[in-house]
């Protein structure tokens, strides 16, 4: 459930860091400012942190560098292998947004970068309910992910990708489950979170959702 992209991530793992460094022209704009974004997200995280979709541990390493306790969850075995090599100090478990080991650590923040869009709408709603259960009172969900301001924004990004000959990106934008701003706002608000959004580049947004008492 929600992990249909795992084979793709196993294959992508060894060249993933190359892509996020801007060496893949097709995804350069998506990951524009990647290191700064992760730095921002790491700085906002509150320890103990639970991180979903760790990938190659680029965000994990920044949080560990800030002496935070990080529990990482990652469904791809290849991504986990690289993450463990790059960040042996972190505890990284097999799992996904909906199924993960139940640990007793009280969680103050839940973070994720470029992963929440792998869930369908109903899976996102289920995951947000679980975040609410998992977080301590006043805990925070802090994500960075591609999302669409509205339908016109989505169509403009697809058109732009096609015009640039970035056909894989154009296909991703149509087939993956990138959310719309209003839709995500409603999902978090319905679960009692106070949510805010900040655009970071043409694709990526910072999403902050604070749980009540
Ligand atoms: C684009 S990568 C992002 C990796 C890293 N967070 C970063 O910012 O570079 C997406 C990651 O999400 C993981 N993933 C895919 N489906 C997932 C799911 N349902 N739950 C949690 N993680 C998932 C993938 O295996 C992959 O490592």
ipTM, 2 dp: 0.99
Residues 70-81: tens digit of each pLDDT: 999 999 999 999
Whether the per-residue pLDDT at 16 is higher than 80: the answer is yes
In this structure, is residue 52 part of a structural domain?
Answer: yes
What is the per-residue burial (b if ≥16 Cβ within 10 Å, else e) of 9-35?
bbebbeebbebbeeebebbbbbbeebe
Residues 160-174: tens digit of each pLDDT: 999 999 999 999 999
Confidence band of 2 (pLDDT split at 50, 70, 90):
low
Q: Whose CA is nearest to atom 23 of ligand 1?
A: 53
In this structure, is residue 25 part of a structural domain?
Answer: yes
In this structure, is residue 155 part of a structural domain?
Answer: no
In this structure, is residue 47 part of a structural domain?
Answer: yes
Q: Whose CA is nearest to atom 13 of ligand 1?
A: 53
Q: What are phi and psi of 165, to 5 degrees?
A: 80, 15
Q: Is 146 in the pocket of ligand 1 (CB under 6 A)?
A: no
Instruction: Give the CATH number for residue 81.
Output: 3.40.50.150
DSSP letters for 145-187: EEEESSHHHHHHHHHHHHHTT-HHHHHHHHHS-PEEHHHHHHH
Q: Using the mean position of ligand 1's atoms as its centre, give its distance from the Cα of residue 193 in Å.
A: 23
In this structure, is residue 201 part of a structural domain?
Answer: yes
In this structure, is residue 165 part of a structural domain?
Answer: no
**Are 110 and 49 contacting, i.e. CB atoms less than 8 angstroms apart?**
yes
Whether the per-residue pLDDT at 202 is higher than 50: the answer is yes
Q: Ligand 1 pocket test: pick from 60, 71, 75 the residue with the most ligand atoms within 8 Å of its Cβ.
A: 75
Residues 100-154: tens digit of each pLDDT: 999 888 999 999 999 999 999 999 999 999 999 999 999 999 999 999 999 999 9
Whether the per-residue pLDDT at 213 is higher than 80: the answer is no
Residues 31-70: tens digit of each pLDDT: 999 999 999 999 999 999 999 999 999 999 999 999 999 9
Question: What is the arithmetic mean of pLDDT over 186-210?
Answer: 97
In this structure, is residue 1 part of a structural domain?
Answer: no
Confidence band of 1 (pLDDT split at 50, 70, 90):
very low
Q: Please state the domain count of the chain.
A: 1
Cα 61 to the center of its chain, rounded Å: 15
Q: Is 59 in the pocket of ligand 1 (CB under 6 A)?
A: yes
**The domain containing residue 111 runs over which residues?**
6-147+178-210
Task: Report the pLDDT value the prediction gives residue 105, as an integer from 0 to 100.
Answer: 85
Whether the per-residue pLDDT at 192 is higher than 60: the answer is yes
């Amino acid at each position: 459930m929600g992990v249909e992209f795992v084979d793709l991530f196993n294959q992508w793992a060894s060249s993933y860091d190359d892509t996020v460094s801007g060496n893949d022209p097709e995804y350069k704009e998506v990951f524009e400012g990647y290191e700064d974004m992760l730095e921002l997200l790491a700085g906002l995280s509150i320890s103990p942190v639970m991180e979903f979709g760790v990938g190659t541990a680029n965000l994990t390493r920044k949080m560990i560098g800030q002496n935070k306790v990080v529990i990482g969850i990652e469904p791809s075995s290849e991504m986990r292998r690289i993450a463990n090599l790059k960040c042996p100090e972190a505890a990284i478990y097999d799992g996904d947004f909906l199924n993960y080991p139940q640990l007793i650590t009280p969680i103050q923040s839940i973070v994720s970068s470029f992963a929440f869009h792998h869930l369908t709408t109903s899976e996102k709603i289920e995951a947000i309910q679980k975040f609410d259960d998992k977080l301590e009172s006043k805990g925070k969900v802090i994500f960075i992910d591609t999302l669409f301001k509205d339908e016109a924004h989505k169509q403009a990004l697809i058109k732009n990708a096609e015009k640039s000959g970035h056909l894989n990106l154009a296909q991703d934008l149509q087939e993956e489950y990138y959310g719309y701003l209003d839709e995500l706002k409603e999902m978090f608000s319905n679960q009692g979170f106070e949510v805010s959004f900040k655009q970071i580049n043409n694709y990526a947004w910072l999403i902050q959702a604070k749980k009540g008492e």
